[in-house]
Structure 1
Amino acid sequence: MDVVVQFAIHRLGFQPQDIVIYAWSIGGFTATWAAMSYPDISAVILDASFDDLVPLALKVMPDSWRALVTRTVRQHLNLNNAEQLCRFQGPVLLVRRTKDEIITTTVPEDIMSNRGNDLLLKLLQFRYPRVMTEEGLRAVRQWLEASSQLEEASIYSRWEVDEDWCVSVLRSYQAEHGPDFPWSVGEDMSVDGRRQLALFLARKHLHNFEATHCTPLPAQHFQMPWCL
């Protein structure tokens, strides 16, 4: 991946801030490595990717091998996407496939076992730790559990998320404290305010695509990540 970025910069003439990295599935590891190593790139889009390889490796191996599998992955194949992604300060978009049969730890229909959820939660918890408290986490998990766009919208409206207010709060914080994460926004906020911000941020960082793991991503789903 280093060669790819170097080629784009030195042979093709791109500036880092003009580069957007898109990665699918296991490519999330090299993409997050590049984002971590080239912090000036414009944005990262991760499609059907995961937070950590260990839970997915354990899924396909005998339970009696748990300790061996965990140690082997950690020492020799540690695809720690979430850890690397949290070292990137720029815009991020995650595409979650709602029928993914590869990065779920149970069955494709169990959308809450999709490790893309964990990637989102770890990113938001790092960037907005005061927002992603118990109440914020609970609200985002309810939203992630929604089985349809209608149900997603219902959860969003149930908590009366005021998007204009959310943007105003975030922009005010950024203007006063600067853009670098983690942010302490939400520290002195009501439970309702933190819940609204948590849902707003989750919706801005993750889009659903109703498909299996290997279905080609339609052109309309190639969107730039949200930027404040």
Structure 2
Amino acid sequence: MGRPNYQFYGVTTIAKFLTGIGLVIAVSYYLRGVGRAGNPVYTTFFNTFLAAKKNLTRDNKKALMMYDFEYSAWPVEFKCDKKGGSRPWHPPTRRSALAYVMGLPCHVASYIVAHTFGLKLVYPGSISMLQYAMSKFLVEGRMKLVKEHSGERFKLQTLDGNEIDSMFIDKRNRHENGNILVVCAEGNAGFYEIGVMVTPIEANYSVLGYNHPGFGGSTGTPYPDQEQNAIDAVMQFAIQRLNFLPENIILFGWSIGGYSTSWAAAQYPKIRGLEFTLNSLLSRESNLSTNRGNNLLVKLLRYRFPEIVENEQFTLLHEYLSLDTQKQGQAFTFTVTDSFIRSGE
């Protein structure tokens, strides 16, 4: 009498188990399909979606925006097929070849860190678990922009193939500031649905917000090159599709969004202005005149913008930072316009 083949029985058991799971999943999908087919709300949405996929007219899109669904299915409305702007971007390099070779081990280590867990620490908004936890608030914020501010959602395709989730609030011909567009870049854990867009909206500017690559409905990963391509697509969309002149565009970056907006300002030097908030550089001291973060801020600005922060502006900047909080609000307003910093009245 032969010995039983336990290995064969083990494989058979696993196969039966997996088949059972497959049947459960198949039946679940079938029941969900039957339920949706009998749901008049879903049927209306599905017909609207098919009509929009076939021909995205303004009426079809308006009807489609009344629903919130997987953004991957949203049609692409603007494709960026070439680099915009007028200047090639060359990051500043001040290290000699010998210094570069000596620092090569650090470069390798930093590359490994950046491409594993480091990026998630710098851009926590790209963490899927965080996005899942905030999904309810993102949907509510998005619907509020659509219903209360007549927002229009767009999907933009970047030069490297990423899809960028964006929202446009058009206030042209409705308010005095409406002919000026404010392009908003959020912080490292910010989303346009619940981010800084509210500030220019309340000031009655036209506003264009977007999510970083890997944030919300945007695809990709927030590496520097993808960040540059993302805001480049946003700028080209604003100029070519929304028909705003660069002279009527203001870039507004919050925290790490200042990187994207400052890069875009270098590429589009004719923009009306640039404003970004480096909130992470300053401590919570009430008296900013004694804040040690001032020295770091000044050095950073001079290093990153040597053609903007020159001697004259450097003096004005020091005068401004030497004042206390109350006097700062009364004395100066710094605006980056036409490649220089000027003090307003």
Larger CA Rg, structure 1 vs 2: 2
TM-score calculated relative to the size of structure 2 = 0.25
TM-score calculated relative to the size of structure 1 = 0.35
Greater relative CO, 1 or 2 (CA 8 Å, sep 6+): 1
